[in-house]
Chain A
Amino acid sequence: MIRFQQLQFRYPHSAFQLNIPQLEVREAEKVAVVGPSGCGKTTLLNLISGILVPDQGTLISCDVDLNQLNDSQRRNYRISKIGFVFQEFELIDYLNVRENILLPYYINQALKLDQSVEARARDLAASMQIDQYLAGRIDQISQGERQRVAICRALLPQPQILLADEPTGNLDPANKRLIRDLLLEHATRTNATLIMVTHDDRLLDQFDRTIDIEQFHEVVSKS
């Protein structure tokens, strides 16, 4: 479960402020986050993942009070609990598809790369129908396939929380629905909580709940 309580966050030297008096996301819940640009959707995901630290209030995720963690502990929390999917895929162009999926294991010493991980990567790729491209280069596959690679990368460490920041933003309508369905399907199968930011109202119908982030957004005087 993720629980926000009297949470306040403000970027330094910015008029932007996020105030969340009370918000809860249940375990394995599938939540869509909507709201206009610049209202704090990505900020919300970064707070949940421990990348940003709230100025005030409490943020409890997976029974951990993130405010009480130091940098290293927050990183460990992110490695073990969080899976990230980005709008721009953020794949590494000099790695092939397989290596991109395995990237978290290359860069985190806490994650041990072994045969079972390799096998799980192959299974995930097969379930996303990109297993034929595993040895291929990133620039040789389509946008929709790239996003599926990114989803495999996010799912491989078996996260409890899957954060998707507008993952369908760069895709055509058919791929949008496909990616949403894949995320929902895998989150359901692994019993993971899914929080997906989207601008597309047509994708909302399959989620358990929709949170409009605009209600938490404030513009404050810089002073």
Chain B
Amino acid sequence: MSGIFRLTIRYLLYNRLKSITLVLCVSLAILLPVLLQFGVTQFEQDLMARAHATPLVAGMKGSRFDLALQSMYFSQADLETTSMQEVETIQETGYALPIPLAVRFTAQQAPIAGTTLDYFEFRKLEVADGTSLQRLGDCVVGANVADRLQLKPGDRLMSDPLNVFDLSGNYPLKMRVAGVLAQAFSPDDDAVFVDLKTEWIISGIGHGHQSIDAETDKDLVLQQQGQSTVANAAVPQFNEVTEENLASFHFHGDIESFPVTSMILVPHDPKSEVLLLGMYDTKESAIQLIRPVEIVNELLQLVFRIKQLFDANTLLVSISVGLLLALVFILSLRLRQRERQTMFQLGCSRSTIWKLQLTELCFILAASLVIVAVLTLVLRVYIHQLMRMWFI
């Protein structure tokens, strides 16, 4: 080992607390802008990729950002619902394939997305284990949900109650896990997919209960009109759809009036897309049609403006750390003046003495860069998950 390296390593080890502090200071100063740049780039890529993969989204007029983010990321936004009637209307135009989405409930904190099988085809989602949705009460879970909750086909997953104190509200539904989706590295990994009808059962629009005999269950009957029997709330409802009780599940009302929170529209061609946009671009229309790419671009412009603030902050932090390093270096030079004088008297050249000081500085910087490189590598692996966990 060269003498200079030996002396440098010995000095840094002897003053390890000072060395570690300096290394951490420099690492943080470098890591901060790297992290920010990395995060913003990943954020941009993630958002844009999903936005590009979602041509059009329709929903009730209101916050465009909420509509876009919920339709793409199943974020919990209190969107005003539209009805299946609108889905039918768009279907009838022949301009696009409408994929309805109803995202109002959660199961173990994972969003429940009520949709049709078209969604799986549209997003190219594949079932890794088990089957797709088979019947009412089935769910297919994203890879991350399955991993987090240790779910496999055949298991049961309970939906979360909206309000535990609201006894008249919706009852949690115990869903059967029909399948687990393959990892898609998208928000679909963190969602629980159910058929629209299952979502409506969770919301209380549909239900199943024991059959009532007007003659024997008189205390359960409120009204009897010909073939129609109106029962009271004491009738026990099923909280799980089974093969035995499947036939008892039914919906009250007209299916066209049933709610969906938004729809993803897949136009058949660019002309159809323009026609669709024109169709809903009126003041009278209660529905708004948005291009997620435009919404995400707006969102990113806001993010970049915030990033500029962070960049300025990072610059100031870097200058501070640079000054701190300079101060430490100068103080170290002053403190070690006698050591340098001794070395000089022992025949050490002034250039070697400076090399020694600079090597120490280089070691600090090199150690900091190694830490930054390792953390950056780790970050590269987990940035996707981290960004989704923190920001989306």
Q: Give me the interface of A with B, judged by CB distance under 8 Å.
A: 49, 51, 72, 75-76, 78-79, 82, 84, 86, 88, 90, 92-95, 99, 103-111, 113, 153
A–B complex contacts, Cβ < 8 Å, 18 sampled: A49-B345, A75-B349, A79-B347, A84-B345, A86-B342, A90-B339, A94-B15, A95-B7, A99-B10, A103-B343, A104-B346, A105-B3, A107-B346, A107-B348, A107-B352, A108-B346, A109-B352, A111-B347
* Residues on the A chain within 8 Å of B338, using CB: 88, 90
Tell me, in angstroms, the Cα distance from A81 to B13 when the chains sit together: 33
Tell me, in angstroms, the Cα distance from A116 to B343 when the chains sit together: 23
How many Å from the CB of A112 to the closest CB on chain B? 11
**B347 and A90: CB pair below 8 A?**
no
**B3 and A107: CB pair below 8 A?**
yes
- Judge if B11 is at the interface, Cβ distance under 8 Å: yes
- Judge if B14 is at the interface, Cβ distance under 8 Å: yes
Contacts A106-B3, A107-B3 given: A92-B339 contact, CB under 8 Å?
yes
Give the bracket for the number of chain B residues in contact with chain A: 20 to 34
The 4 closest A-B pairs by CB, nearest first: A106-B3, A94-B14, A79-B347, A107-B348
How many Å from the CB of B149 to the closest CB on chain A? 55
Tell me, in angstroms, the Cα distance from A220 to B13 when the chains sit together: 49
* Residues on the A chain within 8 Å of B353, using CB: 107
* Residues on the A chain within 8 Å of B352, using CB: 107-109
Q: Give me the interface of B with A, judged by CB distance under 8 Å.
A: 3-4, 6-7, 10-11, 13-15, 338-339, 341-349, 352-353, 356
* Residues on the A chain within 8 Å of B346, using CB: 78-79, 84, 103-104, 107-108, 153
Across the two chains, which residue of chain A brings its CB closest to B8?
Answer: A94
Specify which of A49, A104, A106, A113 lies most central, judged by the most chain B CB atoms within 10 Å of its CB. Answer: A106
* Residues on the B chain within 8 Å of A108, using CB: 346-348, 352
**A93 and B14: CB pair below 8 A?**
yes
Specify which of A94, A108, A110 lies most central, judged by the most chain B CB atoms within 10 Å of its CB. Answer: A94
Among the listed A88, A93, A99, A107, which residue makes an inter-chain contact with B343, where contact means beta carbons less than 8 Å apart?
A107
Tell me, in angstroms, the Cα distance from A153 to B347 when the chains sit together: 12
* Residues on the B chain within 8 Å of A109, using CB: 352
**A107 and B14: CB pair below 8 A?**
no
Across the two chains, which residue of chain A brings its CB closest to B349?
Answer: A75
Tell me, in angstroms, the Cα distance from A82 to B347 when the chains sit together: 9
How many Å from the CB of B332 to the closest CB on chain A? 12
**B11 and A94: CB pair below 8 A?**
yes
Across the two chains, which residue of chain A brings its CB closest to B344?
Answer: A51
Tell me, in angstroms, the Cα distance from A94 to B341 when the chains sit together: 16
Tell me, in angstroms, the Cα distance from A49 to B341 when the chains sit together: 13
